[in-house]
């Protein structure tokens, strides 16, 4: 039987100051874990990570789960999956969509260093 679990590097560890997004195809995962590892800050940065579903027909996006504002050095894990107990800004009781956008919205120009990976599990 083939392994139906994937880990996708969403972002290498870099200092960032501007908002950006990445689209990821999800061929089979129902569950997902977005791991954001903040390792450095300058002054008072703030970034919100959002997992979005992208409609493959219209291209419209809808939020599945958004983090709280990430402002300090820490590791944050966002979880999405059916039958999970929902918890605001941490866990969504939903399935991972076939086309995912991971969006990082920066509130200001202060530098924040982070990496992110997305684990997709059948």
Supply the CATH number for residue 27's domain. Answer: 2.60.120.230
| Percent of the chain at pLDDT exceeding 90 | 92
- Residue at 1 is within a domain: no
pLDDT at residue 5, as a whole number:
84
Residue-wise pLDDT tens digits, 56-82? 999 999 999 999 999 999 999 999 999
CA–CA dist 68, 94 (Å, integer): 19
pLDDT at residue 3, as a whole number:
56
Report whether pLDDT(1) > 60: no
Distances from the Cα of 60 to the Cα of 34, 40, 96, 98, angstroms:
21, 33, 16, 13
User: For the chain, how many structural domains are there in total?
Assistant: 1
For 109-122, what is the mean pLDDT? 96
- Residue at 41 is within a domain: yes
- Residue at 22 is within a domain: yes
- What domain range is 102 assigned to? 6-121
Report whether pLDDT(2) > 50: no
């Amino acid at each position: 039987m083939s392994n139906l679990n994937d880990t996708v590097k969403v972002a290498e560890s870099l200092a960032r100051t501007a908002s950006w997004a990445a689209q990821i195809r999800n061929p089979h995962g129902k569950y997902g874990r977005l791991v954001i590892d903040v390792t450095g800050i300058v002054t008072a940065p703030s970034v919100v990570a959002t997992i979005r579903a992208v409609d493959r027909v219209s291209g419209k996006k809808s939020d599945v789960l958004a983090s709280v504002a990430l402002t300090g050095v820490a590791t944050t894990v966002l979880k999405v999956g059916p039958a999970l107990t929902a918890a605001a800004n941490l866990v969504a009781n939903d399935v991972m969509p076939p086309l995912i956008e991971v969006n990082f919205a920066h509130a200001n120009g202060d530098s924040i260093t982070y990496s992110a990976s997305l684990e997709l599990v059948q």
